[in-house]
């Protein structure tokens, strides 16, 4: 009986620690998209997560380790959001739906919950090899997803078209967020959307 009670207590502590860890990573994944890697500090993350600064090292060996997990979470969140859009659309409309969601005014405004490539791309080359590896994998998965939804999927040029599509999507979102004129922001989004959308959409 004592062994069972000890196991229950141990499991409860482990579950609590895992939940806390996930909370920190979730907060950090939004923070890096909002403030950038360099603008994300341990003290601010722990405060936003409702924890003390000293509790940080029970979960991470370093700030860099936290940033890597935050990057992985941000990429996973983004991939899930895109997968949901694709899954909810008829097959022949999946690419158009994906492009419409990505290049929407809402996505421009939702920096901390949106695409980490648009929020962090210009900083990524200065980050740790792990962060760059995570980002590279996310880009490859995004290119593959776009290629598989494209009308020319299976054709020799499908991969190249997907490369151009992803580069244009991300670039248009970066610029739409950067400018301080709403009409220009809308124009950048809409021009990219018009250029990238499959015929008939």
Q: Per the domain annotation, does 201 fall within a domain?
A: no
Q: Per the domain annotation, does 156 fall within a domain?
A: yes
The Cα–Cα gap between 185 and 18 comes to 41
Burial 45-68 (b: 16+ CB within 10 A, else e): bbeebebeeeebeebbeeeeebbb
Q: Per the domain annotation, does 82 fall within a domain?
A: yes
Q: Per the domain annotation, does 160 fall within a domain?
A: yes
Q: Per the domain annotation, does 134 fall within a domain?
A: yes
For residue 200, what are the CA distances in angstroms to 102, 110, 119, 125, 151?
19, 29, 31, 38, 11
* Count of Cβ atoms closer than 10 Å to residue 134 Cβ: 24
Phi, psi of 52 (to 5 degrees): -80, 155
105 in Cβ contact with 186 (< 8 Å): yes
Q: Per the domain annotation, does 169 fall within a domain?
A: yes
Q: Per the domain annotation, does 81 fall within a domain?
A: yes
CATH number of the domain to which 107 belongs: 1.10.357.10
Count: domains in the chain: 1
**pLDDT at position 91:** 83
**pLDDT at position 48:** 94
**pLDDT at position 171:** 97
**pLDDT at position 153:** 86
**pLDDT at position 154:** 84
pTM for this predicted structure: 0.86
Q: Per the domain annotation, does 135 fall within a domain?
A: yes
Residues of the chain with pLDDT under 50: none
Q: Which domain holds residue 115?
A: 2-196
């Amino acid at each position: 009986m004592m062994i069972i009670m000890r196991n229950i207590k141990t499991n409860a502590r482990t579950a609590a620690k895992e939940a806390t860890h996930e909370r920190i990573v979730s907060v950090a994944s939004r923070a890096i998209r909002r403030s950038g890697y360099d603008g994300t500090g341990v003290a601010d993350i722990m405060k936003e997560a409702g924890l003390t600064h000293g509790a940080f090292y029970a979960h991470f060996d370093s700030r860099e380790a936290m940033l890597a997990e935050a990057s992985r979470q941000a990429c996973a969140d983004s991939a899930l959001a895109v997968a949901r859009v694709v899954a909810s659309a008829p097959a022949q409309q999946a690419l158009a739906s994906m492009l419409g969601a990505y290049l929407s005014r809402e996505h421009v405004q939702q920096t901390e919950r949106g695409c980490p490539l648009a929020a962090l791309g210009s900083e990524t080359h200065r980050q740790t090899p792990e962060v760059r590896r995570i980002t590279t994998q996310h880009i490859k998965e995004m290119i593959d997803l776009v290629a598989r939804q494209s009308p020319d999927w299976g054709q020799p040029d499908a991969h190249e078209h997907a490369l151009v599509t992803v580069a244009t999507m991300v670039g248009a979102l970066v610029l739409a967020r950067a400018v301080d004129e709403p009409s220009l922001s809308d124009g950048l989004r809409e021009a990219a959307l018009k250029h990238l959308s499959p015929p008939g959409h």
